[in-house]
Structures are given as C-alpha cells and as structure tokens.
Amino acid sequence: MSDLLSLLGLGSAGLLAQRSGVAVATNNAANVNTVGYSRQRVDLHAEIGAPEVGGVSTGNPHRIADDLLANRERDAAGDLGLSKAVSQSLLDLEQSVAGTGPTLDQQIANVFGRLNTASATPLDDNLRSAALTAARDLVSGINQRAAATQAIRSEFDARVRDAAKTATGLAADLAKTNDALQAKDDPVLRDRRDQDAKQLAAIVGGSARIDPDGQMRFVLEGGAVLVDGTRAAQVQATTDPTTHFAKVEIVDGTARRDVTGNLQRGEMAGYLQARDQDGAQAANSLDQLASDLATSVNAIHSANAGTDGVTGRNLFTPLAGVAGAAAALRLDPTVAADPRKLALAGPGAGAGDNAGARALVALKDSRIAAGGTRTLGDAAIDLVQVIGTGAARAKDDSARDTALTDSLATLRNSVSGVDLDEELANLSRFQHASEAMTKFVSTVDSLLGSIINGL
Amino acid sequence: MRITGSHLIDLATTATSRAQERVADAAGVLSSGKRVELASQDPTAWAAGRRAADRAALSSARGDAIDATRTRLSETDRALGTIGGIVETARSLAIQGANDTLDATARAALGNQMQQLFREALGAANTQTSDGEYVLAGSRSDVAPFDAAGAYAGDAGVRTVETAEGVTQSLSVPGSALTAAAGVDVLPALSALATALSTNNPAGIQAALASLDTAGKQVSRARGDGGSSLAALDSVDQARSGFEVQLAKQLQAAVDADPIAAASEFARSSQVLEGAQSVAVRVISLVRPRQ
C-alpha cells in the first residue's frame, strides 16, 4: 500500500510538471507579439529511484536568450540611433538651407545677370530697379536661410533635450529592474532590462555589461557611468551660457560630468553632430558667403559712381564681421531707395558709362569666396552640396545599420522568438502527458480504493 | 536556423513596406520627370544641374543685354544713315553752289535748304532711345551731345558689354567719330556750308566741300563700325541660343529622369510590390494557427 501511495505522489508530481509545461507554452503563445520577449522553456528532470519512488520534477521556467547577441544588438542600436538621427537631421538642415523658393546660387546669378543687362543701357531706370530688386531678393534669401539655419539648430537642440529626458527615464527604469532582479530572478524582468538597455543605447550609445552579481552596468563612451546596479545617474541637458545650446551632463548626486564631446553613438550624438558640426558649418559658410559678397561688391561699388557721378557709396550696409553676417546683411538704404545711385558708371565718367557695372558683373567669375578659392555662385552651391553629401552618406549609413539590426533581429528571433506552431506542438505534448498522468492517478486511486474497500 | 512564424510575418511585412517605398519613389520620379530634386538625392548631379541652370540664367540675361544693345545700335545706324545722307546731299548742294553761274539769291536759297538739312542732321546726331539715352554721346549719354552749332559735348566712351561667357564686346559708336578727332567736325562742316551759301562765299563753299568729302568717309566708317557691331551681335546671339540648348541638355542629363528608365523602374517596382504582397499573404496563411 505504501508503494501505491508513492505512485500516487509520483503521478501527482508528473501531473504538476506537465501542467507547468502547458502553462509555459501558453505563456509563450500569449507573448508571441510582445516586443523583446524571449521564449521560455521548462525542463523536466527524471527523479532518481524509479520505478518505486522516481517520477519527474521541474524547476522554474528559464528564458532562451543569448547575452552576447543582446550585446551586439545594443551596439547596433547605438549605431543605428546615430545614423538615423544624422540622416533625418541633415535632410531637415538641407531643406532649411536650400529653402523653398529660388536657390541662393540662382539668386546670385540673377543679380549678376540683371547687372549685365543694365550694363547695356545703364540709364534705363527699369533695368536699374530690376538689378536692385534682384539684390534685395538675394539679401532676403540669405537672411531667411540664416534664420532657418538657426531655427533648425534650435530644433536639434530641443531633440537633444528631449533625448536627455528619455535617457534619464530609461536609466532609472534599468536601475529599478536591476533592483527587482536582485529580489527575484524573473525572465520577464531580464527581457525588460535588455529592452531598456537597448533603447538607452539607441539614445546615448555606450555599452552595457552584466557583472557576476547579475547586475547590469551601463557606461557611456568616455567612461561616464550611467547605471551601476540599482543606482542610476541622470542625463541632464543644461544650457551653455556661451552657445545658448544644451550641453549634456551626467549628474550623479552632486557630481556632474560634461559628456557632450564624448558621445559617439546613439541618436543624441546624431543631434549633437547635426547641431554643432553640420549646422554650425552651414551657418558659418552662410556667414562667410554673406561677408564675401558684401565686402567684394562694396569694394567695387564704392569705387564707381551713380548717374550723379558720386562715388563712395556701398551697395550693402558694411558688416561688423563674418560672424552673424548672413543675418545682418542689408541693402544700403540710400542706394535701395534710388536706383540711380546704383554705381554702374566708372569714376569720373559720364552717367551712361558702364565700367562700374562691368566690374560688378566680373565679380561672378572671380574667386572671392571661401578664402579666395571659390566664386560666389560656387560657394552657394557648395553650401547645399556639402549638406546633401552628408545627408546621402548618412542615409547609406542608416540603411547599412538597419540591415545589420534586421540581421541581428533575425538571429535573436531564431534563438528567442516564439513560434506558434512549436508552442502548439508543445502544448499538445504536455496536454497529452497531462491527460495520461490524470488517467494514471485515477487508476492508482482506483487501486487504492479497491484495496481499502477490501480490507 | 530556426525561423519562427512571427519572424516570417515580420520579414514579409518589411519586404512589402520596402517595395511600397520603392514604388512611391519610382512614381514620384515618373510623375515629376525629375530624378534629382534635392542635393541629397545625388549631390554631384544636383551641383552640375545648378551650375548649368545658373549659366543658362546668365546667358538669358546676356540675351536681354544683346537685345537692348541691338536696339541702341539700330538707332545709331539710323541716325548715322540720316547724317550720311545729309552729307551726300550737302556735297551736291556745295557743288551746285560752287558753280560760278549762280548768283547770290540762288546761293541764299541753297543756304536756306542747307540750314534745314543741318537742323535735320543735328536732330539725328542727338537721337535718343526710348529710355531717353542719347546714342551718339559716348558715356555722357544723359545730355544732348551736340549743341546748336553742332559742337560735340560728349566723349569718346565706347560701351562694352559681356555678350558670352568670358567675351566682352565694344558695342557703341561715340559721337566723337563725327568730330575732328576722327577727321573733321561733321556737323560744323554742314553748318559752315550753309553759312557760305547764305553769305554767297564761293571760297567758303569750296572749303566746305573739301571737309564734306572727309565727313562722308567719316560717317561711312562710323556706320560701318556700328554695322560690324550689329553683325557681331547677331552672330554671338545665335551662338548664345545654341549654348543655351547645350546647357538645357546638361541640366536635363544631370537632374531629369530618363522617361523610359523611369517607366521601367516603376513597372519593375510594381512587380516587386505585387510579389511581396503575394508572399506576405501566403506567409500569413501559412503561419496562421490551424483550427
């Protein structure tokens, strides 16, 4: 009778084990669409001492995941975050600098074209007005692009600030998950931690490792520790009083560390690159173009004369310097108000002379921009082409990083992904075993009943 | 490699999405006719297109300058033609007036006729364009170049205009061509003849006749210069038209879509999309749990 009772215990343990298998298969199937979920498996272990006291036992379900692969996914997320942010930002920058109307090079060509036409009949007020209108349009185009470039750099700055907030939240979540894992090693918590770390890497780059105590440590490029076990630092975007843009600091208690120049990967690095490198370069190039234009044109214009024979007038209001030139560029109000003051005549020549106009027109072919290496038109084309080249490269980088991420996702899915067919087969297997165990317990119970009733 | 059903669906969805992007791109190119609209689409081609477009814009502006110059040269030619005709007539009158058989009254009548011709010549020499510019004034073209006596108040300034890339041409005839600097003072010579005729001065008539011979050659030379300029202008304008056609081709090659290639790409991408959609439907039906 004692043997039968052991068999009943064996049957009961078997029933529990198979039901555990059913539960895990059902849980896997339920999470088939859960992002970051790793399928779980329950392992059955035969007990020693069969057939009298053997049977089956099961431990906690464990997740099927590859930590090395998770590391590679985090790295790839950082690269993809960077290339996507750069790609999108440069497209935005390109649209801001290119503008929606005529391009800058087109406006420059229009100014020189109108001046050349006016040079044929310098006393024609309509043609003088047309040349002035073209110059006014060019000034307006440069002013608008300066404003648009500043606005898009501010937008990149806002993206940096938003990313800092998101990163702080994710770091805090990651530390909390580390804490929860200390209390209970739950596969779902591990999935969540991997997912948080991947999202964090997509934003700030960096790398994560799991220490022997099972705690994850997240370190940024340059060595700043963002998450150390249950402790999370904050990613703060504080306004730099010099640039008025945000600098990125890692704040841990009272300790602050500026990591703005250290971030190499992740979308935050992409926005910083767009703001501080590409955006700044575009703004500087625009300023240089405006300064070169004003300086060279004024030099010619002031040396020549209007129809009144007066020399010494500038076409553009003189600029204080290169910095901020694009925003400050203006037509000289005296000339702007009176087309006859446009200096198309040579000094001392008659009103119908066009030496001044010819000298101005000749500027279009002179290498007076970009340190004397480019014409004004070429410099305007270069301004957009450089951004376009960067955007095209970033798009290629993004496509490459997307392909790598997709490939890693495929690998991860092959290891950790839930397959409904597989889970249904497991469910069926455990269900049949469970039914068999139920039948077995029922039979033993019946035998026990017969014995007890026969006593 | 273990491939899960959900991953198969992801792959099919991604493939369909990319195929849709490709169709959208191809449709955009086909409908707009533009392969490159932004620098980021093809930086080199975009820049080449911009340079071609800018050169075309400058060339078109040169066309406007050429038109304005042609008008001015035509006005100049007309004025010189008028003056040349008057000089010829004046020579005839001078020969007629130099005839010993003519008495003072007859010479006075010729003198009156000559005065009238002088005024006509003066008017022609002070011809203005529609914008009020005096065509024979050199660079001082905002004031009448010849005074009532026919003395020249303009200068020898010749207007130079850029007519093609790297090409500038002198495209005006200054009134100084009608002054002693180029031979004789043409208008004063006409005036002198009128005076000689009116005052019955045969010696003066003879002197004027000699001057008019030179004046006739001067006017012809000036007119020839203007005509050469006009011919050169026509030639350069014709070359400009051809140049702009070349630039249009360069622009087209850089940024425009090849219609056949665009249509082929659209057809290909549509087929790819249809294939991706079929695969997606098949994959979804394959991995759907059976009843």
Per domain, the residue ranges of chain B are 61-251, 257-291
Q: Which two tokens stand for residue A69?
A: 């692969």
Residue B159 — left, alpha, or beta (φ > 0 → left; ψ -120 to 50 → alpha)? beta
Nearest to B54 among A105, A409, A424 (CB): A105
**Which residue is closest to A103 within chain B, CA to CA?**
B50
What are φ and ψ of residue B128, in 5° steps?
Answer: -115, 150
Nearest to A120 among B58, B69, B139 (CB): B69
Q: Work out how many CB contacts closer than 8 A connect A with B.
A: 184
Residue A339 forms contact with B (CB below 8 Å):
no
- The answer to whether the Cβ–Cβ distance between A352 and B157 falls below 8 Å is yes
What torsion do the CA atoms of B255, B261, B263, B265 make, to the nearest 10 degrees?
A: -100
B72 contacts B129 by C-beta, under 8 angstroms? yes
Residue B192 has pLDDT above 80, yes or no: yes
Q: Which two tokens stand for residue B35?
A: 């392969």
Please state, in angstroms and rounded to a whole number, the distance separating the CA atoms of residues A417 and A423: 11
Strand partners, A255: A252
What torsion do the CA atoms of A275, A276, A281, A286 make, to the nearest 10 degrees?
A: 60
CA geometry: angle at B261 spanning B258 and B265, to 5°? 135
The predicted-structure confidence for B233-264, as pLDDT tens digits, reads as follows: 999 999 999 999 999 999 999 999 999 999 99
Q: Which two tokens stand for residue A201?
A: 């890497």
Of B56, B58, B62, B64, give the one whose Cα is nearest residue B245.
B56
**Residue B148 per-residue DSSP state:** T
Cβ neighbours of B47 in A, within 8 Å: 381-382, 385
Task: For residues B215-224, give the mean pLDDT.
Answer: 95
One CATH from 3.30.70.270, 1.20.1330.10, 3.40.640.10, 3.40.50.300 for B61-251: 1.20.1330.10
Residue A199 forms contact with B (CB below 8 Å):
no
**Residue A215 per-residue DSSP state:** -
Residue A410 forms contact with B (CB below 8 Å):
yes
Residue spans per domain, chain A: 2-64+418-454, 96-149+277-389
Counts of helices then strands in chain B (DSSP H, E): 6, 2
Please state, in angstroms and rounded to a whole number, the distance separating the CA atoms of residues B103 and B223: 36
- The answer to whether the Cβ–Cβ distance between A94 and B40 falls below 8 Å is yes
Q: How far is B69 from chain A (nearest CA, A)?
A: 6
**Residue A276 per-residue DSSP state:** I
Q: Report the greatest alpha carbon distance in chain A.
A: 141
- The answer to whether the Cβ–Cβ distance between B62 and A414 falls below 8 Å is no
Q: pLDDT tens digits, chain A, 455 residues: what are they?
A: 557 777 888 888 888 889 999 999 999 999 998 989 999 999 888 877 756 666 788 888 889 999 899 999 999 999 999 999 999 999 999 999 998 889 999 999 999 999 999 999 999 999 999 999 999 999 999 999 999 999 999 999 999 999 999 999 999 999 999 999 999 989 999 999 999 999 999 999 999 999 998 899 999 999 999 999 999 999 999 999 999 999 999 999 999 999 999 999 999 999 999 999 999 999 999 999 999 999 999 999 999 999 999 999 999 999 999 999 999 999 999 999 999 999 999 999 999 999 999 999 999 999 999 999 999 999 999 999 999 999 999 999 999 999 999 999 999 999 999 988 889 999 999 999 999 989 988 998 898 888 888 87
Q: Which two tokens stand for residue A382?
A: 């270069």
pLDDT of residue B228: 93
For the beta carbon of residue A265, count every other beta carbon within 10 angstroms: 25
Give A7's contacts (C-beta < 8 A, 6+ positions apart): A444
In A364-393, the residues whose Cβ lies within 8 Å of chain B are 364-365, 377-378, 381-382, 384-385, 387-389, 391-392
For the beta carbon of residue A318, count every other beta carbon within 10 angstroms: 12
* Edge-to-edge strands, sheet with A231-232: A207-210, A216-219, A225-228, A231-232
A194 contacts A77 by C-beta, under 8 angstroms? no
Residue B291 has pLDDT above 60, yes or no: no
Distances (CA, A) of A292 to A325, A342, B48, B247: 9, 19, 23, 28
- The answer to whether the Cβ–Cβ distance between B43 and A117 falls below 8 Å is no
Q: Which two tokens stand for residue A55?
A: 């049977």
- The answer to whether the Cβ–Cβ distance between A113 and B141 falls below 8 Å is no
Residue B290 has pLDDT above 70, yes or no: no
Please state, in angstroms and rounded to a whole number, the distance separating the CA atoms of residues A303 and A363: 14
Q: Which two tokens stand for residue A178?
A: 């580390």
pLDDT of residue A448: 86
Cβ neighbours of A393 in B, within 8 Å: none
Residue B3's pLDDT band (cuts 50, 70, 90):
confident
- The answer to whether the Cβ–Cβ distance between B65 and A116 falls below 8 Å is yes
Nearest to B61 among A114, A413, A421 (CB): A114
Q: How far is A170 from chain B (nearest CA, A)?
A: 26
Cβ neighbours of A388 in B, within 8 Å: 38-41, 43, 46
Cβ neighbours of B171 in A, within 8 Å: 120
Q: Mutation test of the interface with chain B: which of A66, A124, A413, choosing the one with the most B Cβ atoms within 10 A?
A: A413
Q: Which two tokens stand for residue A432?
A: 């049949």
Q: Look at residue B165 and give its three-state secondary structure.
A: coil
Per cent of chain B over pLDDT 90 is 86
